[in-house]
């Protein structure tokens, strides 16, 4: 009953806040529209040789990517540098999420988690739990990004082999990129197609390859970009370079697979050590409830239980960091 009433209270607060935000946003949009209309009217009545007014009207043509569909939130997020990093992470994970949407989800999850946990555990532990729950959307983005990069890394040697064969057959680099983009599987085909499109639409290969390195910040991709740029300046047999890079990348992937197989035992051990104390505690609640009831009835029992769970979670991440060997 207490939980239901608490959730109803926070739901009412959230709805009231949403209504007030919507009203303020509509008022801001109306004010913005009136200012834009006044500026447009002033620009149309200005002299043609007025350089200041011409510069102002030309600046309207410049496009800026918005961090949020809400104007007030977009203006607020423009003052923080981490928002740009969050936007890049979403693009690398191939998620059509704006930074404002991610931050709104993080805030909503944090408040909801704190409201639920505060009913069962101490306030300091509920605060830490809400902070951890707020990071779940960001962890999801990183997990999806890492999986996409891993799939890209596994398919990239085959793409380089296909590119090398196309170059040996006499195809230019642009045509070879279009061919492998249509024949390979995502996510490599998507990135290659986007790179080829940017280069063919007037951006140029240096700028297109630089954008590829930003979207896919992998060592293999940077080696490929460096080889193409060096070939454009000095010449040489690019097909042989691509073939050698593909062979070296396969050997590196095989070594990484062996390392992951050896580290799997350590990760499994960390998971068992994390779950085992919690499982024993749950079992003791059924076997000897009077023995475990002290943790809930004693004034500092809940603090000790919450501290133990937090230490277990931290230890799990420490173990995963230790056994995560980079090659």
Token pair listed for 230? 């060096």
Model pTM above 0.75 = no
CA distances from 308 to 63, 129, 221, 248, 302 (A): 51, 13, 43, 46, 10
Note whether 292 and 280 are within 8 A (CB): no
Domain range summary for the chain, segments of one domain joined by +: 147-254
**Burial class, 303, CB count within 10 angstroms (exposed 0-12 / middle 13-18 / buried 19+):** middle
User: Which residues are CB-contacts of 174 (< 8 A; sequence separation ≥ 6)?
Assistant: 196, 199, 200, 205
**DSSP H helical segments within the chain, as ranges?**
2-44, 51-59, 71-77, 82-92, 99-117, 123-134, 136-168, 173-183, 188-198, 205-215, 219-234, 238-287, 289-292, 294-297, 301-323
In the prediction, which pLDDT does 50 show? 43
Tens digit of each residue's pLDDT, the chain (327 residues): 444 444 444 454 554 455 555 545 555 555 665 565 555 445 444 444 343 343 343 344 445 566 665 665 666 666 667 778 888 888 888 888 888 888 888 888 988 988 888 887 888 888 888 888 888 999 999 999 999 998 998 888 888 888 888 888 888 888 888 888 888 888 888 888 888 888 888 778 888 888 888 888 888 889 989 888 888 888 778 888 888 888 888 888 888 888 888 888 888 888 888 888 888 888 888 888 888 787 778 778 888 888 888 888 888 888 888 887 776
Q: What is the rounded CA–CA span in Å between residue 37 and residue 39?
A: 5
Give the position of tokens 């398919």. Answer: 155
Cβ(99)–Cβ(67) under 8 Å?
yes
Which residue's entry shows tokens 């943790």?
A: 295
Per-residue model confidence (pLDDT) at position 243: 87
Q: Does domain 147-254 correspond to CATH entry 1.20.81?
A: yes
With beta carbons less than 8 A apart as the criterion, state whether 86 and 38 touch: no
């Amino acid at each position: 009953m207490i939980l239901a009433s608490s959730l109803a209270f926070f739901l009412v607060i959230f709805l009231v806040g949403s209504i007030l935000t919507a009203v303020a946003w509509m008022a801001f949009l109306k004010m913005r529209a009136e200012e834009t209309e006044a500026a447009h009217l002033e620009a149309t009545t200005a002299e043609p040789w007025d350089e200041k007014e011409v510069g102002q009207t030309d600046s309207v043509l410049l496009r800026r990517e918005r961090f949020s569909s809400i104007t007030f939130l977009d203006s607020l997020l423009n003052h923080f540098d981490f928002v740009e990093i969050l936007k890049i992470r979403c693009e690398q994970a191939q998620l059509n999420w704006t930074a404002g949407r991610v931050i709104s989800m993080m805030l909503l999850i944090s408040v909801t988690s704190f409201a639920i946990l505060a009913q069962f555990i101490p306030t300091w532990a509920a605060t830490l739990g809400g902070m951890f729950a707020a990071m779940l959307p960001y962890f999801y983005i990183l997990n999806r990004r890492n999986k996409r990069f891993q799939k890209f890394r596994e398919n990239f040697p085959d793409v380089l082999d296909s590119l090398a064969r196309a170059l040996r057959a006499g195809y230019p680099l642009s045509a070879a990129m279009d061919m492998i983009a249509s024949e390979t599987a995502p996510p490599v085909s998507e990135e290659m197609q986007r790179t080829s499109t940017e280069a063919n639409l007037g951006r140029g290969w240096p700028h297109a390859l630089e954008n590829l390195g930003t979207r896919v910040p992998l060592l293999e991709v940077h080696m490929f970009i460096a080889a193409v740029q060096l070939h454009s300046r000095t010449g040489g047999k690019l097909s042989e370079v691509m073939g050698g890079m593909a062979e070296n990348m396969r050997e590196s992937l095989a070594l990484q697979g062996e390392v992951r197989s050896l580290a799997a035992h350590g990760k499994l051990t960390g998971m068992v050590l994390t779950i085992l104390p919690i499982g024993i505690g749950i079992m003791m609640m059924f076997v000897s409830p009077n023995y475990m009831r002290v943790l809930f009835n004693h004034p500092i029992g809940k603090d000790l239980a919450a501290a133990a769970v937090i230490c277990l979670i931290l230890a799990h991440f420490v173990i995963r960091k230790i056994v995560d060997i980079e090659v």
